[in-house]
């Protein structure tokens, strides 16, 4: 992750819960408006960052867990969601 970017540990799942919508609906909304989220608003974790994050979080309950590296939002990206 670029050290110059202020990142929050906020991904699609956290934001979907915040906006009280299903994660699938949230993902679709972001995908349909992708031009509003340039790289400095939203970025995907590297494999190393994802592995580190996963090791810090309790393991899944046996139903699989997250299979893809999540996208994270910067402060500007989160602000853009509410516009």
What's the pLDDT tens digit per position in 9-46?
567 777 888 888 887 887 788 888 888 888 888 888 88
Residue 71 three-state SS: strand
What percent of the chain has pLDDT above 70?
75
Give the model's pLDDT for residue 40.
Answer: 82
- Does the CA dihedral 73-74-75-79 come out positive or negative? negative
The domain locations on the chain are 7-81
- Per-residue exposure over 50-78, b if at least 16 CB sit within 10 Å of its own CB, e if not: eeebeeeeeeeeeeeeeeebbbbbbeebb
By the 8 A CB rule, do 63 and 31 touch? no
**Above 60 in pLDDT, residue 63?**
no
Confidence at residue 5, expressed as pLDDT on a 0 to 100 scale: 52
Residue 81 has pLDDT above 70, yes or no: yes
Average pLDDT for the chain: 75
């Amino acid at each position: 992750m670029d050290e110059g970017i202020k990142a929050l540990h906020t991904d699609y799942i956290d934001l979907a819960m915040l906006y009280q919508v299903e994660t699938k609906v949230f993902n679709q909304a972001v995908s349909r408006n992708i031009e509003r989220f340039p790289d400095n608003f939203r970025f995907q974790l590297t494999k190393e960052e994802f592995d580190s994050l996963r090791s810090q979080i309790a393991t899944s309950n046996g139903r699989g867990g997250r299979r893809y590296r999540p996208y994270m939002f910067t402060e500007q990206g989160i602000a853009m969601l509410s516009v």
